[in-house]
A and B are shown apart, each in its own frame.
Chain A
Amino acid sequence: MNAPLNTPARLAAHALCTGYGERQIITDLDVRVPDGSFTVIIGPNGCGKSTLLRSLVRLITPTSGAVLLDGADIARTRSKLLAQQIGLLPQASIAPEGITVIDLVSRGRHPHQSALRRWSKHDEQAVQEALARTRLTDLTTRAVDELSGGQRQRVWIAMALAQETPILLLDEPTTYLDISHQIDVLDLCTSLQREGRTLVAVLHDLNQAARYATHLIVLQAGRIVAEGPPAAVVTAELVGQVFGVAARVIPDPETGSPLIIPHAPVFT
């Protein structure tokens, strides 16, 4: 059920158990994130998708088992080194009052900076590229709290991009955004993946996950129930079993990926 063992996977979890206090959310989970994929984790509410993502970037300490990067347990890796390899777009971040776009995006360079070298040429280039990719170059001097919701999300994404990590994790990047911004974000993810980055995202929209992911992980009650390319994983049976929704699955007319269509309700 896992990704075939011969695909390279820098980021993996082995026998992972995590939870808050006595409630174990994830039990005995093995997962390998294929390099260069756009992996999406989906599942019903409370299945542990956010917990899994946060464990992969060491925001949560596992109660047993380990998360491995290049074979080494990340619990023992120095924070800055880890941040140079794995980036995270968190669900809820706080923009300090009055901070400008460029100031906030520049903070993404923190893992690469030292006490004396706080703004090298490389830092400048990375921020330039990040701003260009998120179309924020004309907004650099604006205060972040004056921007719209969609623009603000782009600022946080630019900050994660400026970090220049080969692996990028995104925790529900499309929540609260309107449809055009959601598509923007997901298209950006795809282009990042095509350039060779490994992306892992938690999405709540099944159809978006099926359409954009190259590798899908379906969680239920803290265990992986299906894993693989969307076309293989997303079936009517799975949707019914995991989400409790009676649906049919047809190929998306635009992309050919699985499209889930819930059955029409019958009113008597």
Chain B
Amino acid sequence: MSVKTGDALAPLRWPHAIRPLRVGRFSVRLEVRAAVLTVVFLLVALAVGVWSLTVGSAGIGLSEVMSAFGGSANPGTSRVVLEWRLPRVVFALLAGAALAIGGAVFQSITRNPLGSPDIIGFSSGAYTGALLVGILATGSTWSISAGALAGGLLTGVAVYLLAFRQGIAAARIVVVGVGLSLFLSAFNTWLLTTMRLEQAISAASWGAGSLADIGWGQTIPVLIGMALCVPVVLWFAADMRMLEMGDDAGRAVGVPAERVRIVLLLMGVLLVALVTAAAGPIAFVALAAPQLAMRLAGTPGVRIVPAAVFGALLLVVSDLIARTVIAPVQLPVGVVTLCLGGAYLVWLLATAGRRAR
């Protein structure tokens, strides 16, 4: 099985999907299909975003939207576009990306396509935080958001502490997260029974996730949070991929497994908690976006940037549907993502079953 050194080595044959790229001292192996699809998703997401700026009861067309951006529209139109609709669209894009990144990180670390923050307890925890604040305090939007953020983060810490036993094994994170999620769900259900009916209904609606009250006050913090967390995730993305081969193989190629996992989990929890604090728990974007992006791009594992862009697309489309499908009534966006996500889940389970035979 040896080759005498000195034999000419055959040039490497790459599959269609991957092309090495060298520009000066910067070099990378580009996953071509993934890169192309990312650009396409991004353009479509932006287009849908701009389109949804024209949708709504105020009857504003595309040219008026453009003039609102240019500053030359009348004050009423400007206000509708720039203060009401634009933050909501921007939030949908950012939040979709943030949720998808959180989902991608968790799925990679737990080595399971279902290992998503909405299943492993963080959504339940954020909801608990919000409910507690709503019951104990009078519940202004700020305090409810703070409660949700704290709830999500504390759940993250709890899962970590409970799963930690000479290191955090992928399977343990999942089971501990599930246990905590069921515990918190039961607690949340009880909290709902202690409220008056109207209060309970509004709390429950919050629990479905909605972008109806999103303004710049909610969008800017998410933007700042992402500006801090996403670069960290990207920095560790290669290490994260190595760990997918197993702890031993990952450490064999020099990945400090524990440290990388903790940092990435923290970033994932933060991203999800930030979005949940602002809009309530939005189901299934974190679960479905990374997996769908992976399948469409044909990559052997979740990829952060394609997932983020697909998540943005998914959420902005869902919000559009939520606003228009039974207009003028607005559905909570979480209901739309739940249906889309549910359909995806059923399809995933069906094909997983078939593939395994």
Contacts and interface: CB of A to CB of B under 8 A. Distances in A.
Interface of A: 20-21, 54, 57-59, 79-84, 87-100, 102-104, 106-108, 110-111, 113, 115-120, 124-125, 127-129, 131-135, 137, 140-141, 156, 160, 163, 184-185, 187-188, 191
B246 A102 contact: no
Interface stretch (B24-32, B80-88, B153-161, B220-228): B24-32
B25 A95 contact: no
A97 B351 CA distance: 14
A110 B238 contact: yes
**Among B22, B28, B238, B252: residue with most chain A CB under 10 A:** B252
Given A57-B251, A88-B252, A188-B2, 20 more contacts: A58-B251, A88-B248, A94-B111, A96-B244, A100-B300, A104-B245, A106-B29, A107-B242, A110-B242, A118-B27, A118-B29, A119-B20, A120-B27, A124-B12, A125-B9, A132-B3, A132-B9, A140-B12, A141-B13, A185-B1
B249 interface: yes
B255 interface: yes
B256 A79 contact: yes
B46 to A, nearest CB: 28
A102 B17 CA distance: 12
Interface in B1-49: 1-3, 7, 9-15, 17-18, 20-22, 25-29
B75 interface: no
A236 B15 CA distance: 53
B134 interface: no
Contacts of B2: 133, 187-188, 191
Contacts, number: 139
A20 B165 CA distance: 11
A140 B13 contact: yes
B15 A160 contact: no
Contacts of B254: 79-84, 110-111
A93 B245 contact: yes
Q: Which 8 A-B pairs have the closest CB atoms?
A: A83-B254, A90-B248, A99-B300, A111-B254, A88-B252, A80-B254, A93-B249, A110-B253
A59 B26 contact: no
Contacts of B301: 96-97, 99
Nearest to B235: A115
Contacts of A120: 27
A54 B248 CA distance: 9
Given A59-B248, A90-B248, A119 B10 contact: no
Interface size grouping (class) on chain B: 35 or more
Contact of A140 (B14, B27, B28, B29): B14
A107 B12 CA distance: 15
Contact of A113 (B13, B14, B238): B238
Contact of B300 (A58, A92, A97): A97
Given A57-B252, A82-B254, A111-B253, A98 B300 contact: yes
Contacts of B61: none
30 contacts: A20-B166, A59-B248, A59-B251, A82-B254, A83-B251, A90-B248, A92-B246, A93-B245, A96-B244, A96-B245, A96-B301, A98-B300, A102-B12, A103-B15, A103-B18, A108-B253, A115-B235, A116-B25, A116-B26, A116-B27, A119-B21, A124-B20, A125-B9, A128-B9, A129-B3, A129-B9, A132-B9, A140-B13, A141-B15, A188-B2
Nearest to B249: A93
Given A110-B255, A132-B10, A103 B27 contact: no
B52 to A, nearest CB: 35
A25 B9 CA distance: 45
Contacts of B342: none
Given A94-B245, A103-B300, A124-B20, A137 B10 contact: yes
Contact of B252 (A87, A103, A134): A87
B255 A92 contact: no
Contacts of B179: none
Contacts of B245: 93-96, 104, 107
Nearest to A93: B249
A30 to B, nearest CB: 24
B234 to A, nearest CB: 9
Contacts of A89: 252
Given A117-B25, A129-B9, A187 B1 contact: yes
**Among B2, B25, B256: residue with most chain A CB under 10 A:** B2
A212 to B, nearest CB: 13
A60 B30 CA distance: 35
Nearest to B108: A96
B248 A119 contact: no
A95 B250 CA distance: 11
Contacts of A84: 254
A163 B253 contact: yes
Given A98-B300, A133-B2, A119 B12 contact: no
